[in-house]
């Protein structure tokens, strides 16, 4: 999509999920799609009204009977002319329609759309801002109801509205500051007169509030990677199964049952938790074979990439010296894991007493303590909000808000100095403003845009 000319080609794609569906849509967008309508439908279409009839092949025969919809520019999803052919959803029918469109649109330069290209056009034609365009993809990819609802909220502009509100307040302050810069003799009391410091503090507080919301939104979108780790036979696979409510991993009394990672995504309060059960850890020299060694290496790899690590212990074996030594060894290797990411969990509490130990006590067998574990995992992830009112966000947005907050903090520092330099103050405000604009795409590098849209599914 780097080629600018390609931005103006008409495009077409199958807009529904591949495979069999009752109904499927082929959608085209371009400056003027009348030749396409003539060729496939044969009669002019009343704008935004469904028209039922044959969708024709080149020889005039019907490929299918379906609905045709014309959204004349600019009142369409992309802001260009849009034609939708709603046909029966079989993959062959839809491929035939797509091929027919390409044939009929050849003189227009019609080509197959790249992933995200329809939504990219909606962005370029100011139908959506960047955060809303991202929410389109997040809505389609949402894995929980809470994620879908919050993506819908972002698509509706809830997040953009917050960001625009912050930007507007910064702009007003910037205008004041920059006007004063032209009159050096007034600089000194500007900060007092306009209560610039007070305004700045209010804005900084508001940025923190939106940052908190965006963090929750990013958590909803990205979920939390949780790894179950520990010695063989402590009940890791049993715990995965208990959390997932399904027999996903093999459980046996034999130590070393799990040889490779098994992952499953579950949800707690709508937050996706990507849980990985791993091969039991023991001394490399104790490994029975190459398979076990590779399995353990993968366990460690998962631990490195995890947001939270459940270090699982067997409550019935805590007094055994061999067991203690092996646990101590694992603890040693887990030392570089941020303690905030580590949960000490004792399993098989149905068969032994907790004593005065600290940690979480559970039974994968009876389900005791699992609710507390679920809540502990959410807490570890920093989940606070009830999903109502949360809008979806991405790590990218969280980072931009952090940048904004940092520049506001620097501006505050400048303003606090006795001989405050207004130009430095102004510069930090400009950078804070720019960070916010990255979220809505009013100030974004082309490569960032390309990166965002290329991750869409085809036809979006």
Q: Which residues are annotated as a binding site for GTP?
A: 233-238, 252-258, 277-280, 347-350
How many residues touch Mg ion (CB under 5 A)?
4
Residues of this chain that bind ligand GTP (CB under 6 A): 232-238, 251-253, 255-258, 279-280, 347-348, 350-351, 363-365
Taking CB under 6 A as the rule, does residue 71 contact ligand FFO?
Answer: yes
Alpha carbon 154 to chain centroid, angstroms? 12
Q: Which of 84, 134, 138, 428 binds ligand FFO (CB under 6 A)?
A: 84
- Contact call for residues 408 and 203 (beta carbons, < 8 A): yes
Half-sphere exposure of 207 (CA within 13 A, CB side): 29
Q: Alpha-carbon Rg of the chain, whole angstroms?
A: 29
- Contact call for residues 36 and 131 (beta carbons, < 8 A): no
- Nearer CB in complex with ligand FFO: 47/198: 47
H-type helices in 5-90, by residue range? 34-40
What's the min distance (Å) between Cβ of 230 and ligand GTP?
Answer: 6
What's the min distance (Å) between Cβ of 312 and ligand GTP?
Answer: 7
Q: Which does 76 bind (CB under 5 to 8 A by kind): Mg ion, ligand GTP, ligand FFO, none?
A: ligand FFO
- Nearer CB in complex with Mg ion: 103/323: 323
- Nearer CB in complex with ligand GTP: 79/235: 235
What does the alpha-carbon distance between residue 399 and residue 395 come to, in Å, rounded to a whole number?
A: 6
Q: Which does 351 bind (CB under 5 to 8 A by kind): ligand GTP, ligand FFO, Mg ion, none?
A: ligand GTP
Residue 151: other Cβ atoms inside 10 A: 26
- Nearer CB in complex with ligand GTP: 22/254: 254
How many residues touch ligand FFO (CB under 6 A)?
8
Which amino acids are annotated as binding site for (6S)-5-formyl-5,6,7,8-tetrahydrofolate, given as ranges? 27, 84, 127, 460
Range 90-129, binding ligand FFO (CB under 6 A) = 127
- Nearer CB in complex with ligand FFO: 25/239: 25
Q: DSSP string covering 16-27, please?
A: S-SS--SEEEEE
Query: Helix, strand, or coil here: 73?
Result: coil
Element (DSSP H or E) covering residue 329 = helix 321-333
Taking CB under 6 A as the rule, does residue 75 contact ligand FFO?
Answer: yes
- Contact call for residues 242 and 370 (beta carbons, < 8 A): yes
- Nearer CB in complex with ligand GTP: 14/279: 279
Which amino acids are annotated as binding site, given as ranges? 27, 84, 127, 233-238, 252-258, 277-280, 347-350, 460
Q: Which of 78, 258, 299, 440 binds Mg ion (CB under 5 A)?
A: 258
Residue of 207, 128, 157, 141 whose CA lies nearest to 455: 141
- Nearer CB in complex with ligand FFO: 127/153: 127
β-bridge mates for residue 344, sequence order: 311
What's the min distance (Å) between Cβ of 266 and ligand GTP?
Answer: 17
* Residue 321, Cβ density class (10 Å: 0-12 exposed, 13-18 middle, ≥19 buried): exposed
- Match 């979006």 to its residue by tokens: 460
Q: Which of 55, 68, 70, 77 binds ligand FFO (CB under 6 A)?
A: 77
- Taking CB under 5 A as the rule, which mask of x and - marks residues 278-297 in contact with Mg ion? --------------------
- Match 């403003």 to its residue by tokens: 433
Find all residues with CB under 8 Å of 265, minimum gap 6, and list them. Answer: 143, 223, 272, 273, 274, 275
Q: Which does 255 bind (CB under 5 to 8 A by kind): ligand GTP, Mg ion, ligand FFO, none?
A: ligand GTP
Taking CB under 5 A as the rule, does residue 237 contact Mg ion?
Answer: yes
Angle between helical axes of 236-244 and 370-381 (0-180°, round to 10): 90
What does the alpha-carbon distance between residue 123 and residue 128 come to, in Å, rounded to a whole number?
A: 5
Q: Which of 16, 29, 76, 440 binds ligand FFO (CB under 6 A)?
A: 76
- Nearer CB in complex with ligand GTP: 207/364: 364
- Contact call for residues 86 and 28 (beta carbons, < 8 A): no
Per CB under 5 A, which region of 85-93, 112-120, 234-242, 382-390 contacts Mg ion? 234-242
Half-sphere exposure of 395 (CA within 13 A, CB side): 4
């Amino acid at each position: 999509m780097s080629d600018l000319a390609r931005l103006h080609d008409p495009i077409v794609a199958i807009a529904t999920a591949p495979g069999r569906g009752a109904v499927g849509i082929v959608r085209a967008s371009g400056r003027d799609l009348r030749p396409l309508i003539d060729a496939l439908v044969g009669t002019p279409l009343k704008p935004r009204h469904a028209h039922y009839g044959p969708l024709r092949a080149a020889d005039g025969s019907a490929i299918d009977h379906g609905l045709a919809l014309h959204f004349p520019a600019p009142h369409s999803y992309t802001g260009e002319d849009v034609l939708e052919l709603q046909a029966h959803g079989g993959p062959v029918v839809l491929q035939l329609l797509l091929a027919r469109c390409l044939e009929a649109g050849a003189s227009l330069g019609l080509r197959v759309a790249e992933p995200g290209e329809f939504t990219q056009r909606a962005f370029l034609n100011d139908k959506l801002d960047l955060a809303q365009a991202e929410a389109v993809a997040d809505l389609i990819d949402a894995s929980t109801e809470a994620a879908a609802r919050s993506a819908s909220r972002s698509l509706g502009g809830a997040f953009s509205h917050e960001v625009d509100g912050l930007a507007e307040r910064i702009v007003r302050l910037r205008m004041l500051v920059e006007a004063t810069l032209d009159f050096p003799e007034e600089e000194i009391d500007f900060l007092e007169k306009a209560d610039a410091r007070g305004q700045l503090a209010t804005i900084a507080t508001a940025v923190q509030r939106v940052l908190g919301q965006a963090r929750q939104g990013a958590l909803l979108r990205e979920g939390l990677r949780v790894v179950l780790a520990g010695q063989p036979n402590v009940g890791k696979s049993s715990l995965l199964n208990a959390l997932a409510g399904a027999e996903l991993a093999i459980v046996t009394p034999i130590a070393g049952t799990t040889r490779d990672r098994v992952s499953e995504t579950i949800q707690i309060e709508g937050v996706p938790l990507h849980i990985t059960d791993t091969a039991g850890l023991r001394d490399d020299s104790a490994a029975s074979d190459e398979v076990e060694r590779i399995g353990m290496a993968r366990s460690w790899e998962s631990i490195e990439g995890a947001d939270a690590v459940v270090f699982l212990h067997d409550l019935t074996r805590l007094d055994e010296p061999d067991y203690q030594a092996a646990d101590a060894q694992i603890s040693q290797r887990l030392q570089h894991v941020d303690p905030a990411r580590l949960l000490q969990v004792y399993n098989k509490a149905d068969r032994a007493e907790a004593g005065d130990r600290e940690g979480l006590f559970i039974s994968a067998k009876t389900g005791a303590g699992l609710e507390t574990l679920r809540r502990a995992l959410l807490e570890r992830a920093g989940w606070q909000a009830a999903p109502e009112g949360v809008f979806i966000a991405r790590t990218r947005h969280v980072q931009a808000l952090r940048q904004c907050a940092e520049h506001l903090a620097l501006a505050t520092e400048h303003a606090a100095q006795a001989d405050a330099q207004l130009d430095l103050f102004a510069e930090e405000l400009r950078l804070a403003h720019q960070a916010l604009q990255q979220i809505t795409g009013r100030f974004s590098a082309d490569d960032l845009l390309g990166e965002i849209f290329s991750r869409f599914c085809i036809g979006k």
